[in-house]
């Protein structure tokens, strides 16, 4: 079983549409991160959310951390073709120890058509 | 540009062979992480080094090994290569002592085993 479940797996939309992708778990996380990866490139860190209920905005992207720190969402307003890519959520489960194994979801592959 | 460098960018080799992938972390980062990314498995954590010492192990095969040198660069050695080892291999680094577990990824090495 995957510790972080991302949905949807694939999303194809038209330019100008809004969308939300989800990252869910049954585990509590110290923090969650969102990365975007373009084909053949390394993931690029977009944002880190740390506090339950936290909302962060990055231009047209809005990230939210669930109150219980078990889930997160990414909302994109007025999507642009440049938003196309694989969106990955990642986090370290809160264990009270020094476990630094960052676990990644399988990602949401977003295609924004012009 | 994340500041993490990886060489080579592409590597094509035959089954049974051995290859070495190289990574230089961002200036000041003490931790280096290695990941394997394939289409069906997503991004899988392999191993972490912190200031020259192994810190955490993930799904790393016994045929694979890694080390971090005094200048903090790291090498991932893959031996007795199989067709299934074909994948993108990423290195990431992070700053010491920060609790957000943010990692910065290099551009990756695409390994093709024929």
pLDDT in tens, A47-105: 999 899 999 999 999 999 999 999 999 999 999 999 999 999 998 877 655 556 788 99
In this structure, are strands B10-13 and A61-65 parallel, antiparallel, or unpaired? unpaired
Residue A35 has pLDDT above 60, yes or no: yes
- What pLDDT is recorded for position B82? 97
Tokens read off for A31: 């923090």
- What pLDDT is recorded for position B98? 60
- Cβ-proximal residues to B98 (8 Å cutoff; 6+ apart), any chain: none
- The residue ranking higher by pLDDT, A32 or B97, is A32
DSSP reduced 3-state for A36: strand
> What whole-number distance in Å separates Cα of residue A51 and Cα of residue B4?
28
Tokens read off for A44: 């690029």
Say how far residue B46 (Cα) sits from the centre of its chain. Answer: 7
Q: A4: buried, middle or exposed (CB in 10 Å: 19+, 13-18, 0-12)?
A: buried
- The pLDDT-based confidence of A39 (bands split at 50, 70, 90) is confident
> What whole-number distance in Å separates Cα of residue A48 and Cα of residue A71?
13
> What whole-number distance in Å separates Cα of residue A110 and Cα of residue A89?
14
> What whole-number distance in Å separates Cα of residue A77 and Cα of residue A100?
33
- What pLDDT is recorded for position A18? 97
19-58 in A: which are within 8 Å (CB) of B? 30-31, 33, 35, 40-45, 48, 50
Q: If you count them, how many residues does chain A have?
A: 114
Q: Find out whether B44 and B57 touch, Cβ atoms under 8 Å.
A: no
* Smallest Cα distance from A80 to chain B, Å: 22
The residue in chain B having the minimum alpha-carbon distance to the alpha carbon of residue A34 is B102
pLDDT-flagged residues of chain B (< 70): 97-100
* B-chain residues near A33 (CB < 8 A): 100-103
* A-chain residues near B38 (CB < 8 A): none
Q: Find out whether B35 and B46 touch, Cβ atoms under 8 Å.
A: yes
Tokens read off for B46: 């392999």
Candidates A1, A34, A38, A43, partner chain B, best to mutate (most B CBs within 10 A)? A43
Q: What is the pLDDT of residues B53-64, one digit of tens each?
A: 998 898 899 999
DSSP A26: S
- What pLDDT is recorded for position A1? 59
* Smallest Cα distance from A78 to chain B, Å: 26
């Amino acid at each position: 079983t995957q510790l972080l479940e991302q949905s949807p797996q694939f999303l194809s939309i038209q330019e100008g549409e809004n969308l939300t992708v989800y990252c869910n778990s049954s585990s509590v996380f110290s923090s969650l991160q969102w990365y975007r990866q373009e084909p053949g490139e390394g993931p690029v860190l977009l944002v880190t959310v740390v506090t339950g209920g936290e909302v962060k905005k990055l231009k047209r992207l809005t990230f939210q951390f669930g109150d219980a720190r078990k889930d997160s969402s990414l909302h994109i307003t007025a999507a642009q073709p440049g938003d196309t890519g694989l969106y990955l959520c990642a986090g370290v489960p809160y264990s009270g120890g020094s476990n630094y194994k960052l676990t990644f979801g399988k990602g949401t592959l977003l295609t924004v058509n012009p | 540009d994340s500041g993490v460098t990886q060489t080579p960018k592409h590597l094509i080799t035959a089954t049974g062979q051995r290859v070495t992938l190289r990574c230089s972390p961002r200036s000041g980062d003490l931790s280096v992480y290695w990941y394997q990314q394939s289409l069906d498995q997503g991004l899988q954590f392999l191993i972490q080094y912190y200031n020259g010492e192994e810190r955490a192990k993930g799904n790393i095969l016994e045929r694979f090994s890694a080390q971090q040198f005094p200048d903090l660069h790291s090498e991932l050695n893959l031996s007795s290569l199989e067709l299934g080892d074909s994948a993108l291999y990423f290195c990431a680094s992070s700053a010491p002592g920060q609790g957000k577990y943010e990692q910065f990824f290099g551009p990756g090495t695409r390994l093709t085993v024929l």
